[in-house]
A and B are shown apart, each in its own frame.
Chain A
Amino acid sequence: MLKKTPIWCPGCGLYLLNSGLANTLTRLGWNKSNTVIISGIGCSGRTSGYYDLDSIHTTHGRAIPVAEGIKVGNPDLNVIVFSGDGDLLGIGGNHLLHASHRGLNINVICNRNDIYGMTGGQASPTTPLDWNTKTYNEQIPKYAIDSFNIFRDLPKFYYARTSTSNPANLFKILRDGLSFNGFTYIEVLSPCVTEIGRLQHKDNVQENIEYYKNFITDKQIKKDPLYLEFVEVRNES
């Protein structure tokens, strides 16, 4: 699937995530005759240019509406939205809220690195309070958004949160999520070593892994010392 050398920094979580996605597409038989990939703006948003599929690079935050229009226009297409946490939960947060409630069969993959990487390290909607970013402001702190809250009351969805530190789990979640017949949202915690690592004293790999292992967002999460996994699937019609 990948035909050009991506621009991402060495050590970026996007490399593993895209390897997993490419692998999954091959296993599921999704190729250029039946699949479309759409991405937003940012480092994660450059993804769509590297696949041998018809791909669309939208304006900031509008990947999900374009995907919904495509799905209603041609319901036989497999539609994948691939973007970052700033694009999907910040400027595009409203679209995620409404698209999850519309429940069309599209797949949204969020590369969650908790930062606006391409513009140089500003805080994103999911950046934890205690992180130091270029726009950290003590006067007006902002709590991090937990995207599961959008899905809490819906009867049908596939929601998963995992990390790039956990490839076997990640690849299985991608397979299950993409083949789910309903709205799929997969959130993948992934490191941005250039912008986060060196600003937090987390500039070595071990501390980054420790951070992801101890990440707690919900009481239902299974805190396993070796793996990070949280999957919630509901399929009542």
Chain B
Amino acid sequence: MQILNGNQILVQSIINLGGTFFSGYPITPASTIMNEWVRFSKKNNKLKFIQSEDELSAINMAIGASLAGEISFTATSGPGISLMQESIGWAFAIEAPIVIVNSMRRGPSTGMPTIGSQGDILQTNFGSHGDYEIPVFYPSSLENIPFYTYQAFVTAEKLRTPVVLLLDGYLSGLQKNINTKKIMNIPLVKKSLEPLSKNEKTRYFTGLVTNEDGDVRSYSVDDYEKWLNHRLQKIVPLKKNNYYQYIDNNSDTLVISFGINEILCKDLSKKNINVLIINQLFPIMDGVVDIINKSKNVFVCEINKGQYISILSALIKDKELKFIEIKDIDVPIDNILRKINAG
């Protein structure tokens, strides 16, 4: 048993699953991830670290190291993710496996650096230009951070895609006396992409659209369709995952949420309300859509102005999803119940 906070659990999980490279730039509340990584790397030669001069180079260094054979990641917060958007789109185009940790804080702009939020959910999949989709995992308690960290890395390596691992500022700083068995018993992740210079045929990693022969000088729309569809279809199998927690109290009312709100939702479930906590935000799981279709009154609670509800509403045709904004995590549960009863 050890007293650890969310960021420390994240770093120890990554080290135990075989992560070897981290490049980052300090930003609240993700700077402690960097400090913790360096603390471990001083005792372990296999862990590599570069402190970059800005977030733009942090993510590009991590992508370079990933192509060279390391299991790499970078960690930042909202303002850093805004800077990294072009490179996230580039990683999607060249099919580079990389995990980007976003410990969300209040925005926009400098905002409130020390208060957590859930305001970067739409940015994970709509921040860069063009049509693209990348998987997003979001642990909801200190206990399931190791599991979803493992899912993020194994998905990134298997499907050769960038993956966003969300945390909020609350989870990053939340401390608990925790049983470290789950952190230690995490399986190893292996690289699936042949490292640079070790492949039989030479490869050209480019953001340009290429045709099947690897030629960039193609101007036909068919080549574009094939290139894009190959990348978009890769993550469709993830829709079959069951990465959610559903508490069924046989009620008419369903409350959906994620992240730090799990604590609030567990209290709500004791008042005989059905509760759904989602841990994989993108792609949207078929199981989630089924549960929403089976329920009568559906409320979505988020610490933002209504981001994930807009994505779910596009898929649900027969009823209107209702939004409840969680202003802060120590809101009394009666406030939420009042809003639910008011409809």
Whether A48 is near chain B, meaning CB under 8 Å from some CB there, is yes
A82 to chain B, nearest CB (A): 14
Whether A54 is near chain B, meaning CB under 8 Å from some CB there, is yes
Q: Report yes or no: B64 in contact with A70, Cβ–Cβ below 8 A.
A: yes
Contact surface of A with B, Cβ cutoff 8 Å? 4, 7, 32-36, 38, 48-49, 51-59, 62, 64-70, 72-74, 77, 94-95, 97-98, 102
On chain B, the residues within 8 Å of A36 by CB distance are 68, 196-197
A55-B205 in contact given A65-B61, A65-B64, A98-B53 (Cβ < 8 Å): yes
Most buried by B among A48, A53, A54, A55: A54
Q: Report yes or no: B206 in contact with A98, Cβ–Cβ below 8 A.
A: no
Binary flags per residue of B190-223, CB closer than 8 Å to A gives 1, else 0: 0000011101001111111000000111000000
B200 to chain A, nearest CB (A): 10
Number of B interface residues, CB 8 Å?
A: 40
A35 to chain B, nearest CB (A): 7
Closest residue of A by beta carbon distance from B217? A7
Q: Report yes or no: B65 in contact with A54, Cβ–Cβ below 8 A.
A: no
Q: Report yes or no: B65 in contact with A62, Cβ–Cβ below 8 A.
A: no
Q: Report yes or no: B197 in contact with A73, Cβ–Cβ below 8 A.
A: no
Q: Which 7 A-B pairs have the closest CB atoms?
A: A69-B64, A73-B68, A69-B61, A73-B65, A65-B57, A57-B206, A65-B60
State the majority secondary structure of interface residues on B: mixed
Extra 14 A-B pairs, beta carbons < 8 Å, given A52-B202, A59-B86, A69-B21: A32-B197, A35-B197, A36-B196, A54-B199, A54-B202, A55-B203, A56-B64, A56-B205, A59-B60, A59-B90, A62-B60, A65-B52, A65-B60, A73-B69
Q: Report yes or no: B57 in contact with A95, Cβ–Cβ below 8 A.
A: yes
On chain A, the residues within 8 Å of B48 by CB distance are 72-73
Binary flags per residue of B6-25, CB closer than 8 Å to A gives 1, else 0: 00000000000000010100
* Interface positions of B from 46 to 68, Cβ below 8 Å from A: 48, 50, 52-54, 56-58, 60-68
Closest residue of A by beta carbon distance from B200? A32
A124 to chain B, nearest CB (A): 20
A132 to chain B, nearest CB (A): 32
Q: Report yes or no: B53 in contact with A73, Cβ–Cβ below 8 A.
A: no
Q: Report yes or no: B197 in contact with A68, Cβ–Cβ below 8 A.
A: no
Closest residue of B by beta carbon distance from A36? B196
On chain B, the residues within 8 Å of A35 by CB distance are 197
Q: Report yes or no: B53 in contact with A94, Cβ–Cβ below 8 A.
A: yes
Binary flags per residue of B63-92, CB closer than 8 Å to A gives 1, else 0: 111111110100000000000001100100
B65 is contacted by which of A7, A32, A72 (Cβ under 8 Å)?
A72
Q: List 17 A-B contacts (CB under 8 A).
A: A4-B215, A38-B64, A49-B204, A49-B216, A54-B197, A54-B202, A55-B205, A56-B204, A56-B206, A58-B60, A59-B60, A62-B57, A69-B60, A69-B66, A70-B65, A70-B68, A98-B53
On chain B, the residues within 8 Å of A7 by CB distance are 217
On chain B, the residues within 8 Å of A48 by CB distance are 204, 206
Whole-angstrom CA separation of A97 from B90 in the bound complex: 23
Closest residue of B by beta carbon distance from A78? B197
On chain A, the residues within 8 Å of B90 by CB distance are 58-59
Q: Report yes or no: B204 in contact with A57, Cβ–Cβ below 8 A.
A: yes
Binary flags per residue of B265-283, CB closer than 8 Å to A gives 1, else 0: 0000000000000000000
B88 to chain A, nearest CB (A): 10
On chain A, the residues within 8 Å of B67 by CB distance are 56, 70, 73
On chain A, the residues within 8 Å of B21 by CB distance are 69, 72-73
On chain B, the residues within 8 Å of A77 by CB distance are 68, 196-197
